[in-house]
Amino acid sequence: MKKNLLIVTLTIAVVLLPSLMTGCNSELPGDAVAKVGEVYISAEEFDDAVAQEARYFGITEDEQPDTYRDIQRWVLENLVVSELARLEAVELAIQASDEEVQERLDEYVTYYFEDDQAQLVDQLAAEGMTLEDLKTDIREGIVNDKVQEEVLKDIADVPDEDVAAYYQENKSDYYVEASRRVRHILIVPTAGSAPSDSSESTAPGASTTTTVADTAGELTEADWAAALALAEEVKAKLLAGGDWTELASEYSDDLKTKDNGGDLGEVFLGETIAAFEEAAFALGLEEISEPVRTVYGYEIIQAISITEAGERPLDEVRDQIESMLLSEARAEAWQQWVETKKSQVGVIYRKDLQPTTTTLIEDTVTTLPADSPTTAAAQTTTTSLQP
C-alpha cells in the first residue's frame, strides 16, 4: 500500500550511532531493500516512501545526493522498526478496534477538514488512496502506539533526585536576563504645525525609525519646550486616574503602538537607547516616569511587568526538566527494545542502505494528525509507523 503523511503516530529523534544486528546483503532478493525476520521490505514500498519524504522537503537526489541518501536510510530504518512493532503486536495479541479507528479518523476530519469528509476523500484520491486505505493505515498506527506503550509502560516518572541533579548541573540554562514589559506615550516636537516623521517609530532605539534628529534643523528649543509641556500635561492626566489606553490613542505620536495602549512588549538591557533604558529600568511596577527626552521626542513610560535577572528556581522549571528527562528515558528504553528485537528476529539491510543512524522514539503523541512545517521532523521520521 502506498504510504502517506496524514497521521503522526510517533515522535522520533535521530542520534548518530552505528547500526547493529544487520545481516548479509547476499540473502536479499533483488526486489527487496531489507528483511525483518521472514518479512521482506520491498523496493517499491521503500521507493514510494522515500519519494514522498523527498517531495515534502524539496530534496532531489541530483541536487542534494548526500541528504537524499540520509533520507533513504532514515526511511528504511523506520520501515524496519514498523515491522518489528508489528511482530510484537502479533505476539502480544494487540489490536485496534473499529471504534478506535473511527475516533481517530473523526479527529482528523474535524481538525483539518472542518468535519467535511468529502474533502478528505478528494485529497486521498489525489494521492491514489481510498478512505479504506487510510483506515487500514490508521489501524496500523494505533497498534504501533499500543506496542510502544506496552514496551514503555514501566517508565512513567523521573526520580526527584534526578531532576534536582540535572538542575544543579545545568543552572546556567535557567538564567534569565533582567527585562521590563513597558508601554509609552510619545510626544514628538514639531516645527510649527507640521508633525515629524518620527511619529512612525515602532520601538525605542529601532534602527529603521526616523528620529527627531533627522529634522533637527527645523526644530527650536521652543518646539522641544512645547512638547515637554504637553508630555507633562498627559502625565498629569495619567496620575489623576486617566485611562492609559485612551490617552495613548489621543496623544501618542507613535503610530505603531498608539492604538494598543503604547505597548512596546518586553525590553531587555542593551536593546534600547540609553535614555529610554535608564528610565525604564529605574521604574517600579506600574510606576510612571517623568517625560524622558530621547531622539524620538518626549516619552512617558510605565513598567507593566518586571523580571529581575537571576536563575529561575527549581520549582519553576521542574515540570520542564521532568518532561525532558522522561522523554530521554523512554527513548533509551525504546532503543534498547529495538536492538533486542532486531537480535531476536534478525534484520538484513541492502548493502548500500546500511543505516548510519539509529532512530529513537521519544514519546507517544498519537492525538491529532500534523502536517505543518513545525512537525515536519516528526513526519519524516515516522514514515513506517503512520499512514
pLDDT score of 377 more than 90: no
pLDDT one-digit tens code per residue, 233-292 = 999 999 999 999 999 999 999 999 999 999 999 999 888 999 999 999 999 999 999 999
Task: Name all domains of the chain by residue range, CATH numbers in brackets.
Answer: 10-158+315-385 (1.10.4030), 178-308 (3.10.50.40)
Q: Alpha-carbon distance 205 to 367, whole Å? A: 45
pLDDT one-digit tens code per residue, 90-126? 999 999 999 999 999 999 999 999 999 999 999 989 8
Residue 35 backbone phi and psi in degrees, to 5: -135, 125
What is the average pLDDT score of the chain?
82
Give the per-residue SS3 of 238-281. HHCCCCHHHHHHHHCCCCCCHHHCCEEEEEECCCCCHHHHHHHH
Q: What is the predicted pLDDT for the residue at 191?
A: 79
| pTM attached to this predicted model | 0.61
pLDDT at 30 over 90: no
Rounded Cα gap, residues 17 and 14, in angstroms: 9
What are the pLDDT digits (tens) for 201-220? 444 544 334 555 544 458 89
Amino acid letter, 17 = L
Q: Are 182 and 267 in contact (CB under 8 A)?
A: yes
Q: Tell me: the pLDDT tens digits for 55-80?
A: 888 999 999 999 999 999 999 999 99
The Cα 290–Cα 269 span in angstroms is: 20
